[in-house]
Amino acid sequence: MLKNGTFYYSGQHIPEFLDSFQVGNTWRGYEIKKIDLVAVVAADQYPRAILDLTLMDQDGDTSTERVASKYEEKVFIVEENYVGPNQDQNIDADMIKITTEPATHNMSGTPCFDGWCGTTNDWAVYARGEYKSVEAAREYIRENYKDAREIDDFYDEGGTIKAVYKPGKYEPLCKEETGNFIYDSLVDSVTQTTTDDEIRALVDEWEATANSEGWTLTGAFDLAVAYRDE
């Protein structure tokens, strides 16, 4: 007989799982003589049914094998973009979320699975599809959001968010933060005679330094030109 421990069936709801086993049918070449429901439990945040199957082989010998459902909850990708007037203060506000709850249309409140779901309070929401697993959703993000970075620190009041990504390889600094970051070098390096090309070279150096710390600058060239011309 088999005696290989518990067999898991992924991607099945409990009713579908239970209906797939019937006395008199065969399972892995053995006749099912008896079915005992051991338990319905919560495991890994998802419900799971566990059955003991009494099986008979061709020689009439019997044994018991355990089977269990392992339903993997579907997930959705929801993109949220800030479209309001305070772009500099919300420079890193946009996000791409993997969540167990779909987006909703902002007017009807009905689920939104693909495309624009509406704009409310300066936030545009887009649904980017339904996926059979978190890894499948991650693969979509890797293919469609080049250089998107995953963040660990995010707010999840309902416990539905599995992962959050931000557009861009580096975290952008706003103009004020950029000015603070380059200030010392700006004062030391830029004078009234500094050319635009020299400023561009400085900006490249500042950007490389910022990148090494996980950031990208915003408006560094304009800030340097304004400092030179004041």
CA angle 17, 21, 25 (to 5 degrees): 155
Among 53, 70, 87, give the residue marking a domain's end: 70
For residue 1, being part of any structural domain is answered with no
Specify whether the CB–CB gap between 133 and 179 falls below 8 A.
no
pLDDT of 151-174, one tens digit each? 998 888 777 899 999 999 999 999
Residues 6+ apart with CB under 8 A from 195: none
Read off the pLDDT band of 45 (50, 70, 90). Answer: very low
pTM of the model: 0.66
User: What's residue 12's pLDDT?
Assistant: 59
- Please say if the pLDDT value at position 6 is more than 70: no
Specify whether the CB–CB gap between 218 and 178 falls below 8 A.
yes
- State which H helix or E strand residue 197 sits in: helix 196-212
Average the pLDDT over 181-204 and give the result: 97
pLDDT of 96-116, one tens digit each? 999 988 999 999 999 999 999
Domain match, 85 and 40 both: no
Neighbouring C-beta atoms of residue 145, cutoff 10 Å = 17
Among 30, 55, 70, give the residue marking a domain's end: 70
For residue 164, being part of any structural domain is answered with yes
Domain match, 185 and 145 both: no
C-alpha to C-alpha distance for 94 and 106, rounded to whole angstroms: 18
Query: What percent of the chain shows pLDDT beyond 70?
Result: 90
C-alpha to C-alpha distance for 38 and 27, rounded to whole angstroms: 18
Domain match, 65 and 81 both: no
User: What's residue 70's pLDDT?
Assistant: 66
Read off the pLDDT band of 2 (50, 70, 90). Answer: very low
Structural domain boundaries, residue 31 = 6-70
User: What's residue 1's pLDDT?
Assistant: 44
For residue 179, being part of any structural domain is answered with yes
Specify whether the CB–CB gap between 127 and 112 falls below 8 A.
yes
Domain match, 17 and 45 both: yes
The residue with tokens 């007017």 is: 107
Domain match, 89 and 161 both: yes
Among 169, 201, 220, give the residue marking a domain's end: 169
pLDDT of 66-95, one tens digit each? 888 765 668 999 999 999 999 999 999 999
pLDDT of 120-157, one tens digit each? 999 999 999 999 889 999 999 999 998 999 999 888 87
Question: Exposure of 79 by Cβ count < 10 A (0-12 exposed, 13-18 middle, 19+ buried)?
Answer: buried
Looking at the structure of the chain, the number of domains it has is: 3
Q: How far is CA 118 from CA 84, 132, 158, 167, in A?
A: 14, 25, 22, 20
The residue with tokens 């490389």 is: 208
Domain match, 161 and 103 both: yes
3-class state of residue 229 by DSSP: helix
